[in-house]
Structure 1
Amino acid sequence: MYDTERVEILKGAQGTLQGAVSSGGALHIYTRSAQVGSGERNGYVKTTWADNMTSIVEAASDFHLSDTLSLRFAGVQNNNAGNEVKNIRTGVNEDHKYVSGRISLSWVPTDALSVRFKYQNMEVDSIYPQPVAGTNGTPSYAQIADAYVAELALYESLGFVDPGTAAQFTFLNRPNYSDIPASGLKPEDRVALHFQDPKQNTSAEFHNLMIDYDMGSHALALRYSDSQSDAQGLIDRDYAGAYVYGYPQEVRTNTGIETFEMRLSNQDNDKLEYTVGVFSRDSQTYTTADLDRSYSITEVAPHLYKPLAGPGMAYKTPTNVCNAIRENPSAFYASMNVITCMGIPVDAKTEAYFANFKYNLSEKTYIQFGIREQEIDFYTQQNLYLPRTALVGVADGGGLTIPFVAAGDTNKTADSTTGGFKIGHYLNDDVLLYVANESGYRRPSITITSTAINPSLLPFEEEESNMTEIGMKGTFMDGRLRLNAAYYDVTFDGFQTKWDNVIAREFTRSGPGGLTQVQGGVFNNNDASLSGIDLEYAYVVNADLTLGGSYSSTDSEYDAGSVRYTNDVTYTGMTAPTADVSGQRLNDDAESSMTFYLDHSVAAYWGGERYTRYNISWRDERTSAINPDLKIKALVIANLIVGWRSADDVWDASFFVKNAFDDVDISDIQSYFSDYSLPGGNPLPSKFYSANTNMGRQMGFQLSYNF
C-alpha cells in the first residue's frame, strides 16, 4: 500500500451495499485522489531504510491544471531481503523488488458532477528460496534406498526378477544431508536446500473510472475497472533438497478482469434510506503449469542423465521446454526425459442486482434490510499435454493432450440469493445496540492441480453461510473512551476447504499409477460452525496520550461426519485417502489474540513535537490442522516507534523497531515433504516441512518531507 487515504475492514458477508461480494468480510483500500479547487500540493517524499536490506522510496504530489481539473502522481520503489532466507547449496539469498506508479485525474466541472480516473502499474520481481525445517526422518531416504536395492538383489538371486536388475540401480541417488546439523533444521534457521531457485515475476495494470452525480433527491455512482496481469512463478517441488537436480515447476498466469457497477441512493428522506444497484464482473484467466519430471531417470544415474530445465541445463525453465517441444515435437522423441505441459483456462461472468433499505422507526431505533440476487456462469478446464519422449512413448500417451475435467463439469451456472437484516437501537446519543443476521455464498468450482488424479476428486460444491451478530458500539466519559463489542455465530453449509497435505492415486494412460503428492491441494465440502467475540477500545488519557487495544476469541469446528483428504502412504484405493475431522478447527488461526497500543506526543524543547508509539500483539499457540505433529507457539510481537515532527508538519523523522523481542515461529504449515519416491514407487515419508516464518527483529529509520 502507498499513498493511501484510508483502509476499511468489513466483517461478515458483503454485497447488498455495493457490487463486489464476499462471504467472510472485505478489506477496502482507498488511495488518495487529486484535490480540485485548492492550491495545495498535498505532496510528500518518504524514505525508509531497515536492516534486512530494506530500501523504500515513496513520493506523491498534486498538479492543478485548472480550477476544475487536477492530476496526482504517486509512486513507490521497495527493495528488501524479506526473511533473509539463504540457499546453502546454491548460495542464492532471498531478494524482493517492487516498483509501482499511479496517475490520478480528478475533474469537477460542477458542484453536482465528479469524475475521477486512476491508472496504476506495478512490477514485482522476487527470488525466494523455500526454507525447510525438520529432519530426514527414520528410516532416512538413504536407508530406504539401500533396502530397496538389497531387496532387488535378493529377488534377482531367487529368480523373481531379470538378471542385472539390481545393477541398474548401482548409481541410485541417496539424498545427502551432511551439510545440515544431525538434529535437523529449525524454522528460525531460514535455510533452503533445493537445487532450483524459486522466483516470482508479476506485471499488472489497473484502470479505474469513478463518476458521482448529485441529482438532488438521489445520488448516482458509476464504477468501472479493468485490470490485466501477467505472473510467472518458478518453484522447486523438491524443497527438501532430496533430488540431485530438483523438481522444477513453472506456473504462468494471464488474468483479465472487467467490472461495472451502478448505485442509486436517495438523499431526501430521513425516514427511509435506500441504495439499489447492478453489478457485473467478467474475468478470464489462462494458466500454464509445466513440470520437468525427469527425476524418474536422473535419480537412477545422475552422472548420465539430466533434466531439460534448470541451472546449467538446456533450458532455463519448464515452460521454455514446453514451448520448444510444441514448436518441434519430433526433436524430443529420443530425449530421456519426462515433461508435462498443462493449460488451465478459467472464465467466470457474474451478473447481480442488489438493494439495501434502512427505515428509521424513531430517532433512536432503525431496521435495515438488504438483498442480493446473482447469477454466475463459469468455465474451467485442465488440458495436459504429454510430450512424446524416449521415456513416454505413444503407448503411454506421448504426444496426446488429455483433458482432466469431465465434459459435464466444464461449463456451469450457479445462482444465489443472499442478504441481511439488522435492528439497531441507540440507548442515547453515544451508545448503539444492534442485532444482525447476514447470509453469504461461494460458488462451486473445480480443484486446479497439475497432478493427474481421478476426475471425481476435482469438483466441489457451493458454500452457504449464515451469521448472527449481537453487538454494541459506544463512546463514554465525554467521548474519551470508545468501546465496541460483538458476539457472532456462523453456520456453514458445505464449507469449502483446501487440503494441502494430500496424496492421491496418479492416473496415467496405461491406468492407475503410484501415489503422488497433489500439488496445490484438493478441495472438498463439509458442514461447520464458528463463533467468537471481538472487543476493541481506545481511551484518550489526555491531549498527549491515547491508549487502545483489542481482544478476539474464536471457536470453530467441523460438524460430525466431516472428512478431509490426507497423506497416508499405506493407501491402496484408486482415489485419495481420507480421515475424519469431526470436531477439529476449521483452520490454523489462534483461538485468542490481543493487541495493545500507546500513542504519546509531547512538545520538543528544540521545537516541534516528539512522539512515541508502542504496539504489542499476542497470539495464542496453535495446532496445525494439516500437520498435527507440529505446534505453533504463542507469539508476542512488540513494535516501537520514536520520532519527531516539525511544528509546520513539513518534516517527520522516526526510528522503529519491529518485533523487538525477536519472537519467531512458523507461520504456515503445509505438510511433511512426500514428493520424493524411489523410481516406480510411492512417496516416501520424511520429517522435513516447509518453514515459512513471521519476520524477526527489524530496525530501521524513516524520513518524510511534506510540501
Structure 2
Amino acid sequence: MKIFKLILLIFIAFITTSQEVEEIVVSAEKIEKNILDVTTTLNLYEGDFLDTQEITELGQLSYYVPNFNVQEQEVSYPSFSMRGIGNDSGALTFRIGRFLNGQSMGTTTMSSFALFDINRIEILKGPQPTTFGVDASAGAVNVVTKKAEIGKTYGGFSTGFGNFNRSYIETIHNFTLSENSALRLSTYYVDKDGYTKNLNGGSVNGRGNANAVRLSYTHNLTERLLADVVLYHEYNDSPGPGFKNIFIPSPRDQKNSIYGPVDFRNDELANTKRYLNTYQFLFDYTLNTNSSISFNLQNSSTRTDNYFEADGSFIQLFSAMNNRDDDLESYEIQYNFKNDILSFFVGFNEQTRSASESYEFYFDEGYLMSFLGVDALTSFQYGLPGILDPDFGGAGVFASNRIFDSALDLFSARASYGQAILANYQALPVPLYTENRFDRADEEATSLYFNSSIKVNENLTLTLGYRENETDSTASQSVPDCPRPLLLFGVCQTPSYEISNNFTDPGQGLFKYGANYAFNDDISFYANYSEGRINPVVAFSAVTPAEEVETIDVGFVIVNSKTFLSGAIYTYDFSNYSVQRLNYATGQTELDIMDTATIQGFEVYGSFNFGLNSKVFGSFGNNDAKLGSNTASGQSFDYAGNKWRFAPEYTYSLGIDISLNKFNTILAYTYQDDMFAEESNDPFTLIEGYGLLNLNLNYLMDEYEVSAFAKNLLDEKYLIDIGNTGGNIIGTPTVIAGAPLTIGVSISLNY
C-alpha cells in the first residue's frame, strides 16, 4: 500500500507540472460551473468521446465509468447500479435519477434513449437532493444534448453497415434563422438483427434499434430573455431479450451452452416496441448583472409493448405480454444570483407522473401439472420447501434462497429437476391458459430547494444546500376473472381481486454541505456530506418506510492542457434500505427493509495527452457493498452479508488514442469483476468477471471521414444478466449472453 501511494504521488507530481489551464464547464450543480469548482464527485464524458468510441447507449458507456453499471437488455426496463446501489423500488421510485438536459426522465420506460448529437454526459455520484431531488438519492445521470448555434450554418451526414445486418444513418443540420435564432435538426436510425439466434426462426437480444429525431430551437427573444425548445421522438422495434434456461434444454440445441442459441416456439416472437416523446421548453431571463430567473416546462410519454419468454425454454411453461403507458409533466422555476463572493439559487418544482401497466400471462397446463408434480417430489427428496409447502408455497423448490448448502450439488439437482418436468409432460386438449393483471401508479410531488456557495478566500469555497419535498402517491392492482378456468381444477389460478392504496408523504428536509479548496490553477480538492431519501414506496397493498442514506465524499480534480484526472473516496450509511425478495406464499416480489447497511470504496478516472497526436485514458473503481444483518423490525435477514446486485468489487478501463497524419486509432480495454445478478446471491446468479477489447479506426479526408469499429474484438463469451422471472418462480434461473464480436464501417460527410 505504501508503494502504491508513493507511485500515485509521483504520478500526480509528473502530470501537474505547470500547463495552460483548459476550462471544462459542467452543469452538475444546477448552474454552469468550472469542473474545478464543484463539490460533487462527477464523471464527465463529452460528445467527442462518445462519437470516437461508437457509444450510442448508456450501457456501452458504463464500462468506462468507475463503479457504474447499466443493464440495457431492452430499452423499456434498463437497470442502473451506482457504487452498488440500484434496483428501482417501484414503478415510479428511483435511487438513481435519469435526466435529459437537467429535466427528469423519471419513469423506467423513459430512462433509456439513443445517444446521438450529444454535448456531454454527467454522472453524479452520491445523493443529489438540492440539484436533482429525491429521485437521485444515490446519484444521477444527466444527458446534455447539443443546442442550436446562432450565427452558424452547417451539417453532417453519416451512413454505415455492420454484421447482424446492421444499417445506420445519422444526420445533423444547424440553421441560422436570424441574428437572434437558430434551429438544429438531428436524426438517428439504426436497425439490426439480434445477436442470439432463435432455433425456431428469427433472433433475440437486439437492443439498440432506434428511429429518432430531435429538433432544437434557440431564440434570444429579447436582450434579456433566452428560449430553448427541445422536441424529441424515438421509436424502437427490436428483437426482445433472450432469457435462456439451460436446465430445460432444447432437443435442437446439442451443446446447450449458456452462450448458445435459444429455442422459443411460441406463435409470438420475443419483441420490444416503444414510442418515446419528450417536449422541453427552457427559458432564462436576466434581471441584472448578478441575477436571473429560469423557468422550465416538460412533458414526456412512452408507450411500450413487450412479449417475452419468461421461462427461457422451448416449452410453454411461462410467457407473457406486457403493455405499459407512462406520462410525466413537470415545471420548475428558479432564481439565480452570483457575484464575486456569493452565489445561490432557490427554486420550486412540481411534477406529475403515472404508469399504467397490463400483463397477459400464458402457459400450457400439461407443463403446469408436470411442474407441480415434479416440484413436490423434488422438495421431498431434498427436504426443501417447494411450491406446495404451506409456508413457502408460490414458487418452485429451487427458487428458495434457503437452499444454498455447500453439500448440495445445486447444478445437478436443478438439471434433474428440469429434465423431470420435460419427461412427465402430458398434453391436454385445451388451448394455452391465459390470465391478466393490471397495475397503475400515480404520483404528484412538489419540491422547494436552495443551494448557496460563499467564497471564504481566494482558495476556499463553502456550499450549503437544502430541499423539502411532499408527495401524494396512489397505487392499484387488479386481476379479472380468467377467460377460462384451469381444466383440472375448475377454477382460475389466481382469484379475481382489485386493491388500491394511497399515501401522502410530508417529506423530510435534506441537507448537503460541501467545501472546495483551490490548491492552484490546476488542482482543487473537495469534500461533501450529503443526505438522501427515497420516498416511501406505495404499493397496492402496503407502504414501505422511507429509505435514508448519509454519505461522505472526499476527492480531487486536476485539469490542465495535458491532464484531466479526478478521484474520490466515499462511504455510505443506510437505514431502512429495501431489498427485493420473493414472497413464497404469494409468488409476488416484495421488499425487505434492512435496519442498516454500509458501502465504502474509491474511484479514479482521467486522461493524459503525451502530445498533439496521442493520449491515454482510463478509470478504476473499488467498491465494498454488502447487505446488513437484520431487518428494521430486528429479525434476522435472509440475505445478511450478501453482495449487492450488480456490484462488482473492481472495475477498470484503459485506452490509448493515437493520431498519425490522417489516421486515428483508439484501442480500449474494459473489465468488470465478478458480481451477482440477484441479491439472494444464488450461486447460479454469479456473473463471472470479463474484459472487452474495443477498436475504433478513423481516416480523415477534409470534409470526409471513413470509420470502422470492432466491439468485443476478441469475441469474449460473457453474461450480462442471470435470474429474471424463471429463477424467481420456476426455480431454474435464466441467463442473457452479452454481445459477441460486433463490427461496422461508416462514411461521414461534413459541410
Which bin holds the TM-score, normalised by the shorter protein? Answer: 0.7 to 0.9
Range that drifts further, 385-394 or 100-109: 385-394
Hey, what does 1:370 align to over in structure 2? Answer: 465
Inter-partner Cα distance in structure 1 for 2:306 and 2:452? 45
1:19 shift after superposition: 5.5
Contact preservation (8 Å) 1:342, 1:384: yes
2:198 pairs with 79, 84, 87, which one? 87
Q: Quick one: percent identity of the two aligned structures?
A: 17
Aligned length: 575
Contact preservation (8 Å) 2:435, 2:483: no
Q: 1:71-470, aligned counterparts within 5 Å? A: 71-82=183-194, 84-90=195-201, 92=203, 95=206, 97-128=209-240, 130-136=242-248, 177-181=250-254, 185-195=256-266, 196-216=268-288, 217-243=290-316, 246-267=317-338, 269-293=339-363, 295=365, 302=427, 304-307=429-432, 338-387=433-482, 389=484, 391=486, 401-405=496-500, 409-446=501-538, 455=541, 459-470=543-554
Contact preservation (8 Å) 2:156, 2:748: yes
1:20 shift after superposition: 7.2
Task: Give per-residue Cα distances to partners, 1:452-492, cap 9 Å, x unaligned.
Answer: xxx5xx543321111101112224xx742333221000011
Hey, what does 1:667 align to over in structure 2? Answer: 720
Contact preservation (8 Å) 1:19, 1:279: no
Contact preservation (8 Å) 2:533, 2:547: yes
Q: Which has the larger radius of gyration?
A: 1
Inter-partner Cα distance in structure 2 for 1:391 and 1:194? 22
Inter-partner Cα distance in structure 1 for 2:494 and 2:630? 43
Task: Give per-residue Cα distances to partners, 1:93-141, cap 9 Å, x unaligned.
Answer: 55564211122222113332211112111211122252415334xxxxx
- Structure-2 change in CA distance of 1:188 and 1:224 (3 Å): same
**SS of structure 2 residue aligned to 1:346:** strand
Inter-partner Cα distance in structure 2 for 1:354 and 1:115? 23
1:394 shift after superposition: 13
Inter-partner Cα distance in structure 1 for 2:310 and 2:506? 35
- Structure-2 change in CA distance of 1:95 and 1:4 (3 Å): same
2:590 pairs with 495, 515, 522, which one? 522
Inter-partner Cα distance in structure 2 for 1:2 and 1:435? 33
- Structure-2 change in CA distance of 1:551 and 1:95 (3 Å): closer
Inter-partner Cα distance in structure 2 for 1:208 and 1:640? 36
Contact preservation (8 Å) 1:370, 1:421: yes
1:600 shift after superposition: 1.4
**SS of structure 1 residue aligned to 2:740:** coil
Which structure has more relative contact order (CA 8 Å, sep 6+)? It is: 2
**SS of structure 2 residue aligned to 1:445:** coil
Inter-partner Cα distance in structure 2 for 1:393 and 1:416? 53
Hey, what does 1:474 align to over in structure 2? Answer: 558
Matched, 1:654 2:712: no
**SS of structure 2 residue aligned to 1:705:** strand
Hey, what does 1:487 align to over in structure 2? Answer: 569
- Structure-2 change in CA distance of 1:79 and 1:297 (3 Å): closer
Contact preservation (8 Å) 1:127, 1:198: yes
Inter-partner Cα distance in structure 2 for 1:626 and 1:226? 38
Hey, what does 1:2 align to over in structure 2? Answer: 116
Contact preservation (8 Å) 2:517, 2:525: yes
Question: Quick one: which amino acid aligns to residue 659 of structure 1?
Answer: N
Task: Give per-residue Cα distances to partners, 1:521-543, cap 9 Å, x unaligned.
Answer: 33222121111101123211111
Question: Quick one: which amino acid aligns to residue 440 of structure 2?
Answer: P
Task: Give per-residue Cα distances to partners, 1:240-272, cap 9 Å, x unaligned.
Answer: 2333xx5332221111100111111113x2111
Task: Give per-residue Cα distances to partners, 1:198-227, cap 9 Å, x unaligned.
Answer: 222111211100101111120211111001
- Structure-2 change in CA distance of 1:41 and 1:479 (3 Å): closer
**SS of structure 1 residue aligned to 2:447:** strand
1:597 shift after superposition: 1.5
- Structure-2 change in CA distance of 1:277 and 1:122 (3 Å): same
**SS of structure 2 residue aligned to 1:497:** strand
Inter-partner Cα distance in structure 2 for 1:191 and 1:31? 38
Q: 1:658-697, aligned counterparts within 5 Å? A: 658-670=711-723, 673=726, 685-686=731-732, 689-697=733-741
1:18 shift after superposition: 4.9
**SS of structure 2 residue aligned to 1:16:** helix
Contact preservation (8 Å) 1:85, 1:129: no
- Structure-2 change in CA distance of 1:197 and 1:523 (3 Å): farther
Contact preservation (8 Å) 2:206, 2:241: no
Inter-partner Cα distance in structure 2 for 1:620 and 1:60? 38
Task: Give per-residue Cα distances to partners, 1:652-692, cap 9 Å, x unaligned.
Answer: 211111111111211111168468xxxxxxx7654xx3221
1:373 shift after superposition: 0.5
- Structure-2 change in CA distance of 1:77 and 1:89 (3 Å): same
Inter-partner Cα distance in structure 2 for 1:638 and 1:288? 40
2:682 pairs with 618, 622, 628, which one? 628
Contact preservation (8 Å) 2:127, 2:138: yes
1:92 shift after superposition: 5.0
Inter-partner Cα distance in structure 2 for 1:133 and 1:236? 10
- Structure-2 change in CA distance of 1:467 and 1:474 (3 Å): same
Matched, 1:599 2:691: no
Inter-partner Cα distance in structure 2 for 1:617 and 1:378? 41
- Structure-2 change in CA distance of 1:292 and 1:480 (3 Å): closer
Question: Quick one: which amino acid aligns to residue 16 of structure 1?
Answer: T
Inter-partner Cα distance in structure 2 for 1:398 and 1:674? 20
Inter-partner Cα distance in structure 1 for 2:727 and 2:682? 16
**SS of structure 2 residue aligned to 1:559:** coil
2:746 pairs with 692, 702, 706, which one? 702
Contact preservation (8 Å) 1:44, 1:60: yes
Task: Give per-residue Cα distances to partners, 1:381-422, cap 9 Å, x unaligned.
Answer: 1011123635499995799851245xxx43343412212101
Question: Quick one: which amino acid aligns to residue 292 of structure 2?
Answer: A
Hey, what does 1:550 align to over in structure 2? Answer: 619
TM-score, with length taken from structure 1 = 0.76
Hey, what does 1:321 align to over in structure 2? Answer: none
- Structure-2 change in CA distance of 1:424 and 1:613 (3 Å): same
Contact preservation (8 Å) 1:619, 1:635: yes
- Structure-2 change in CA distance of 1:298 and 1:665 (3 Å): closer
Question: Quick one: which amino acid aligns to residue 670 of structure 1?
Answer: G
Q: Which runs of 5+ in 2 are unaligned?
A: 1-114, 370-424
Hey, what does 1:147 align to over in structure 2? Answer: none
Contact preservation (8 Å) 2:204, 2:242: no
Inter-partner Cα distance in structure 1 for 2:725 and 2:495? 33
1:579 shift after superposition: 6.1
TM-score, with length taken from structure 2 = 0.71
Hey, what does 1:156 align to over in structure 2? Answer: none
